[in-house]
Amino acid sequence: MKIALAQINQTIGDFQKNTQKICSYLERARNQDADLVIFPELAVTGYPPKDFLDIPSFIDENLKALNHVVNHVSGISAIVGFVDRNKRRHGKLVHNAAAFIQDRKIISVHHKSLLPTYDVFDECRYFEPAHQISPVKCKDYMLGISICEDMWNDEGFWTRPLYERDPIENLISQGANVLINISSSPFAVGKHDKIRLRLLTHAVMKHKVPFVYVNQVGGNDDLVFDGNSVALNAQGSLIAQAAAFQEDLVVVDIKSPSVQIQPRTYSDIETVHMALIAGLRDYVIKCGFQKVIIGLSGGIDSAVTAALAAESLGKENVIGALMPSQFSSQGSIDDSVALSHNLGITYEVIPIQEIFATCRKTLEVEFKGTSFGIAEENLQARIRGNILMALSNKYGYLVLTTGNKSELAVGYCTLYGDMSGGLALISDVPKTMVYELARYINREKEIIPHNSLTKPPSAELRPNQCDQDSLPPYNVLDGILKAYVEDTRGIDEIIQMGFDEKVVREIIRKVNRNEYKRRQAAPGIKVTSRAFGSGRRMPIAHNFMCS
């Protein structure tokens, strides 16, 4: 049986374009003599639809769109993700579902059993779990159709499974001899090679049946989906793999077990680079923008943000704004200009010295008797933020903020200043990874000026300022942050990893006390195992220090 893996990029709620795309891929698969074409989880609606699922008309439009797809399924079978109504008198109103379609008819509907409520997922909020599951016959095979999380609960793979039941085991026990999983599995660095592919291989080796996995691709808000759809034969060998971070259609014959391919492998920094480019492109396009504007400081963060934007959107759609003050070094200005020339982007120079002087003059009575400090430093950042937002309002640009995860974690950023903007592109990228990205961007030629890579990081808001005046070295800071934020380790555990106790306690104190800033930050693109935002939900007001 020839199976087509239709790895598509949907827009949430754009039923017309989503169904057009599904029908287009149906036709392409049929033209390649596929017997079955498989689409991702919630292919009709896009993922994640969130509270749109509470709106009856959204469910109605989704069902109309599915019917449109059904009418195009002839000469081929299809599996399509959609939202189904719960026909029982109790429970949530809808199911996360997959329709198995043949000859312009829905032959069977398969509901998602396991509904994740961790990290960025909140599916119990909306969906009723499956009340029963069973395979369906297609040609000479019994297809065990599952949806995303349903394949993530093998007790032989996990030390502590999250759920009491295993839908894959259930399908196998009912005679399934081909496993199929449709997914909307977000990207995190290392996830595909180190977890997802290992999990699929484990299931195949355990059950001795082929496994076809189809994941969506592209960005929706803070999530990026990497695709990487795969098929494995009954011996556990990879026989098909779709592209990473690109739409793709791959046709594989699961009856030809001798056909094997080598998995496409990428370094971690390559995948982060691809994820940020894809996430930015889709955020800009799906939100209706065309151009972005970035405040260029001459530092590594704004340089990496601008380079990513130019590659993602095209140099003609990126504008740099240089806003020097009396504390800006000539070297930083020169580095910003050099970067703009290297990227081929337009840039404007808008000095802020006079505005800053006017603000200080306006506040001189209120500030009388105080020395220059945080208030004056933040004034400069807020002046720059206001200028960027004014240009955004005037010309319709999307402002990209340039803060990294390390800064956001400890509050080394200014509300309504450098945090002002529509997308925080690298807000889930630790500072040490920002340098890795810069070196990757410069892998063939110098794009980011050498000075931006080598000079000590500085906000340049006061004379001779340096990040390390307020923070430990970034390799130390990022190690502590990963342990605390991503791995949820306590203070004692982190100290036992070799970090200084005083530094650990101070960093965790800063992380905890700056939750109020992060709650007001622009959305960012998730690339690590746990990002600030929907994947990490902490109270602002509390008095807990985890030991």
Q: What is the mean pLDDT of residues 461-478?
A: 78
SS3 298: coil
Give the model's pLDDT for residue 67. 97
Q: Give the residue numbers of the binding site for ATP.
A: 295-302, 402
148, 286, 431, 460: which is the annotated catalytic residue?
148
Nearest to 529 by CA among 50, 186, 115, 117: 186
The edge-to-edge listing of strands for the beta sheet with 423-424 is 346-349, 318-322, 292-296, 398-401, 423-424
Query: Domains of the chain (ranges plus CATH)?
Result: 2-265 (3.60.110.10), 273-519 (3.40.50.620)
Q: What is the pLDDT of residue 459?
A: 63
pLDDT (mean) for 120-126: 93
Q: Residues near 226 by Cβ (< 8 Å), separated by ≥ 6?
A: 185, 187, 191, 192, 215, 217, 244, 245, 271, 274, 275
Contact between residue 204 and residue 236 where contact means Cβ atoms under 8 Å apart: yes
Beta strands of 305-355 (E only): which ranges? Answer: 318-322, 346-349
Question: Is residue 255 annotated as part of the catalytic site, yes or no?
Answer: no
Rounded Cα–Cα distance for residues 24 and 28 (Å): 6
Tell me the whole-structure pTM to 2 decimals.
0.93
- Assess whether pLDDT exceeds 70 at residue 235: yes
Taking each helix axis as running N to C, give the angle between helix 300-313 and helix 268-286, from 0 to 180 degrees, rounded to the nearest 10: 60
Per-residue pLDDT, averaged over 225-237, amounts to: 94
Query: How confident is residue 332, by pLDDT bands cut at 50, 70 and 90?
Result: confident
The pLDDT value given to residue 509: 94
Nearest to 322 by CA among 267, 253, 255, 391: 391
What average pLDDT score do residues 412-421 get? 94
| Residue 530 confidence class, pLDDT cut points 50, 70, 90 | very high
Q: Do the strands 223-226 and 217-220 form a parallel or antiparallel pair, or are they unpaired?
A: antiparallel
β-pairing, 230-232 vs 211-215, is antiparallel
Which of 2, 21, 112, 286 does the annotation list as catalytic? 112
In 364-415, DSSP assigns E strands to 398-401
Please give the annotated binding residues for L-glutamine, written as ranges: 118, 185, 191
More confident residue, 398 or 334: 398
Binding residues, as ranges, are 118, 185, 191, 295-302, 378, 402, 407, 517
- Positions at the binding site for deamido-NAD(+): 378, 407, 517
For tokens 């592919």, name the residue.
197
**Catalytic site residue from 41, 128, 377, 460:** 41
Q: Specify which residues 218 forms β-bridges with.
A: 225
pLDDT band at 257 (very low <50, low <70, confident <90, very high): low
> Is 413 a catalytic site residue?
no
Residue 206 is a catalytic residue: no
Contact criterion met (CB below 8 Å) for 213 and 207 = no
Does residue 69 register a pLDDT over 90? yes
Task: Give the contacts of 511 (CB within 8 A, at least 6 positions apart).
Answer: 409, 410, 481, 484, 485
pLDDT tens figures, 442-453 = 999 999 999 899
CB-based contacts of 443, cutoff 8 Å, min separation 6: none
Q: What pLDDT shows up at residue 250?
A: 96
